Structure 1
Amino acid sequence: MDSDVRHLHASSFGAAADAYAAHRPDYARDAVRWALEPAPGPRVLDLGAGTGKLTATLVATGADVTAVEPDRAMLAELRRGLPTITALPGNAESIPLPDACVDAVLAGNAMHWFDMAVAGPEIARVLAPGGVLAGLWNTVDDRVDWVEGLTGVSGPAAIGPRDTPASWRTETATLHLPRTDAPPRFGSATQAEFPHGQRRTADSLAATLGTRAGMLVMPEDERESALARIRSYLSTRPETSEGEFTLPMVTCVLRTRRL
């Protein structure tokens, strides 16, 4: 993805901030606990926090959370939903916090948008020694038959790179870590996966997939056609054709530590 296309995708969410807040899933608590396990203290920065999906899960684990989000509409949704949280405008390449002020930096479905050549040193700056950097991604579990079918019907705009466990493992093995520098700021990374799920209906699952960046940047007629195809598929499956069901998911985590 070239820089112009990447920027178009990364900046697409604000126009759908209310739908994002309504339909995107939270994160498996076991995944968040594992991400924070080596952190030297409770101070956590949720970087690229969006509407606060990860922020809320962090709060539920007892973390002392600060959220940073570049998009005004997404930030407004976060502040509306979590009014007691410190939520600041800013981005991974210019974090509006002082040096060594947090024990962990977490990013939920956001690290792939960071320019890590710039963001890596900036994240290292705000982390205390021994602090944790972790990216979390919610993926759909395509080891389940009907979910595998859904990935084929939906296409890469709705379920693409990093959106299934196997593709996530490949895409994030080294791609989103801070680049090696001398002396190195971060240690080696570890991947882990945690089962998760989201209660959906056919309509709300289509709405969830409609909040993916690839879908948001589509021409309206193509987007509506893709959503209609997804709804049609879900209507034919016994698992999803009537009422609520659980979308099988995996919260995947890539974790490293500040040296």
Structure 2
Amino acid sequence: MKDQVHHSAAAGYKTGADTYVRGRPDYPPQVAEWLSETLGLNAGKTVIDLGAGTGKFTGRLVATGAQVIAVEPVPQMLEKLSDAFPDVLAVSGTAMDLPLPDASVDVVVCAQAFHWFASTEALTEIARVLKPGGRLGLVWNLRDTKVSWVPKLDAIVNALEGDTPRYYTGAWRQAFPHPAFGPLQAQYFSHGHTGAPEDVIFNRVRSTSFIAALPEEQRERVDEQMRALIAGEPDLRGKDVVTVPYETVAFVAVKGS
């Protein structure tokens, strides 16, 4: 199974689980309505949280009343999730090898995850465990580049991505169309991540898989670049609390009957 996990995820998330918890933003309140109305989640349904990480999205799924099964391949992340949600069934697995029977779940949700395993093969495996008419939900939080300093922060990060799959490149879309699923439909929500710069800027960037996997000297260089960016931006300089603007995009695709 390890061979199915990209090296950036395997290395970065193994060492960076704590930073991930502190640095990652939550999701906007509109997501609750999307989960219940668009994905149809309620107390009678079963949902897989695929690529669940430390459980950043798991609480949103639990709140729907549905039975939640968290699937995550990185043991350090899965341990954090189990600590946070002891009542959730948390299992080791990947999108290519889901430890569940055919047509056994109503919904599969991938939050901040689908770009890691976007492929025809993964969608075929997801379709296998979904019931006819089941739904696949794909969710990403993205920094809002309409705010002037955000592209500068993104440039610091993107310069180091190497071969790491990223949502913004759009490469994940090549997995679609897929014969098992109807067309993707998207909704967009705006929100902000407010807190100390150490968390919402520094720890958010440090939690990026390929940043977390860097040698210490290079990670410190990234920190220096972020400090220089903050010092040069009036909206950030000297602030104890800042808000990083985000846009959340939520896609749904329905499995055929």
TM-score, reference length from structure 2: 0.86
RCO higher in structure (CA 8 A, sep ≥6)? 2
Indicate yes or no: 2:92 matched with 1:89.
yes
CA contact (8 A) 1:67 1:85 kept: yes
Indicate yes or no: 2:71 matched with 1:68.
yes
Change (3 A) 1:26 1:151: same
Change (3 A) 1:171 1:66: same
Distance 1:161 1:240 in 2: 29
Distance 1:213 1:238 in 2: 29
TM-aligned CA deviation for residue 224 of structure 1: 1.1
Select between 215-224 and 134-143 the one with higher mean Cα deviation.
Answer: 215-224
For 2:9, give the aligned amino acid. Answer: A
- Identity percentage over the alignment? 36
Q: Per-residue CA shift, 1:101-129, capped at 9, x if unaligned?
A: 21110011111111523221211111111
TM-score, reference length from structure 1: 0.85
Change (3 A) 1:38 1:133: same
What residue is the counterpart of 2:120 in the other structure?
117
5+ residue gaps, structure 2:
none
Q: Per-residue CA shift, 1:143-171, capped at 9, x if unaligned?
A: 0112233223444337x9756xxx46x44
What residue is the counterpart of 2:197 in the other structure?
202
Change (3 A) 1:144 1:52: same
- Which ranges of 4 or more aligned residues in structure 1 deviate by more than 4 Å? 160-163
Change (3 A) 1:121 1:154: closer
What residue is the counterpart of 2:227 in the other structure?
231
5+ residue gaps, structure 1:
none
Change (3 A) 1:210 1:82: same
Select between 148-157 and 98-107 the one with higher mean Cα deviation.
Answer: 148-157
What residue is the counterpart of 1:189 in the other structure?
184
What residue is the counterpart of 1:249 in the other structure?
246
Indicate yes or no: 2:215 matched with 1:219.
yes
For 1:116, give the aligned amino acid. Answer: S
Change (3 A) 1:54 1:156: farther
Distance 1:108 1:157 in 2: 23
What residue is the counterpart of 1:22 in the other structure?
22
CA contact (8 A) 1:154 1:229 kept: no
For 1:147, give the aligned amino acid. Answer: V
TM-aligned CA deviation for residue 74 of structure 1: 0.5
Distance 1:239 1:176 in 2: 39
Q: Per-residue CA shift, 1:169-203, capped at 9, x if unaligned?
A: x444x2344x63xxx21111122221122113222
Q: Per-residue CA shift, 1:70-100, capped at 9, x if unaligned?
A: 1111100000111111111111111111222
Q: Per-residue CA shift, 1:207-245, capped at 9, x if unaligned?
A: 110111221232321221012111221133232221112
CA contact (8 A) 2:96 2:121 kept: yes
Change (3 A) 1:153 1:47: closer
1:11 is paired with a residue of what secondary structure?
helix
TM-aligned CA deviation for residue 40 of structure 1: 5.1
1:113 is paired with a residue of what secondary structure?
helix
What residue is the counterpart of 2:37 in the other structure?
37
Indicate yes or no: 2:10 matched with 1:11.
yes
Distance 2:23 2:249 in 1: 19
Which structure 2 residues correspond to residues 158-197 of structure 1 after superposition, within 5 A? Answer: 162=166, 167=168, 170-172=170-172, 174-177=173-176, 180=178, 184-197=179-192
Distance 1:125 1:36 in 2: 23
Distance 1:32 1:227 in 2: 35
